Amino acid sequence: MIRWPARLLFALGEAIGSAAYRLGLRRRVALDGLRRAFPERTEAQRRAIARAAYRQLGRGLAELVAWRRLTDSELERVVDFVDWDRYEAARAGRRGVIMAVTHFGNWELAARAAVRRGMDLTTITRPLRGALNERLLAYRRNRGMRELSDKGSSGAALRLLRRGESLGVVVDQNMLPSRGVFVDFFGTPACTTPAPAVLSLRTGAPLFLVFDFRAPDGTHRIRFDGPFSVPPGPNSHSTVVALTQELTRAVEHVVRAHPEYWFWVHRRWKTRPAAEATLPARDNP
């Protein structure tokens, strides 16, 4: 049961998210992504999804503030891991566990709750700049979350998994061509990290996708999809691409069903294949 002071804070967070949308903060990015993902929907429908996504982001920030001092037992009452036994079974194999993390729902709250419940989680993250991001990083560290840089951390990630620990890798961010592979996402090539596939193939660590859903009563349900099977055949580049595509297809399936939960303000399709630069320009109708 969520108490009224927290509910008021959540309402304020949603109002702040709505204000950010009205002020146009990365609104063009969000709407461009929605047009690419949902060309069959009307502009009014896409704008409604965008407004809901902004409200969801605002509420997520309010939840981090409202629940920052909850005890472990209190946190368990508002965050339920419906597939925790699946994670425990994977961890029992002592090959480590790879958590493919998505910007879906309140991913910061999900990571915090997982660590508090006993997941020995280290996450590969990009450098974050700015005062707000510095506070976010401090929030993570103060709650037991460990981090590896996204550059030059392959050896550390392999050692971590071989010790039987858990590694989080964000899988729905745009990558530079030198560090990603192109797979289909909503019908368009998207440059995507191959790290989860590569690490799973090299270590045998089970690979899961993590999604956070908000229940009608305001509490959260964390779902682990997987483990994803390694495609048959030698561990080649094509195998890495095939497994990365399978993960990305699963992300698309969930985002398509619940688009208001995803992080549309990120330019997911920013990096384009080199072949697109050689295509002849179309004449305007």
Quick: pLDDT tens for 155-205.
999 999 999 999 999 999 999 999 999 999 999 999 999 999 999 999 999
Looking at the fold, whether 158 and 49 belong to one and the same domain comes out as no
| CA–CA–CA angle 272, 273, 275 (5° rounding) | 130
Q: For residue 42, is it within any domain?
A: yes
Q: Which two tokens stand for residue 165?
A: 């620990």
Please tell me the pTM assigned to this model: 0.90
Residue 129 confidence (pLDDT): 64
- Cβ-proximal residues to 101 (8 Å cutoff; 6+ apart), any chain: 107, 111, 123, 168, 169, 170, 171, 210
In this model, does residue 137 exceed pLDDT 60? no
Mean pLDDT of 230-247: 87
Highest mean pLDDT among 39-48, 127-136, 267-276: 39-48
Residue 264 lies in a domain: no
User: pLDDT band at 125, cuts 50/70/90?
Assistant: confident
Domain coverage including residue 165: 72-259
| Same domain? 242 vs 111 | yes
Q: How confident is the model at residue 2 (pLDDT cuts 50, 70, 90)?
A: low
- Verify that 101 and 60 share a domain, yes or no: no
Are residues 146 and 47 part of one domain? no
Q: Could you tell me if residue 273 is inside a domain?
A: no
Q: What does the pLDDT average to over 54-78?
A: 94
Q: Is residue 126 part of a domain?
A: yes
Would residue 176 be called left, alpha or beta, if left means φ above 0 and alpha means ψ between -120 and 50 degrees?
A: beta
What pLDDT does residue 285 have? Answer: 32
Query: Which pLDDT value is given to residue 176?
Result: 95
Closest alpha carbon to 203 in 50, 93, 48: 93
Q: How far apart are CA 216 and CA 84, in angstroms?
A: 21
- CA–CA separation, 115 and 107 (whole Å): 12
- Tokens representing 220 are 């959260």
By CB atoms closer than 10 A (0-12, 13-18, 19+), residue 236 is: exposed
Please give the angle made by the CA atoms of 164, 78 and 76, to the nearest 5 degrees.
Answer: 45
Over range 92-112, report the average pLDDT. 95
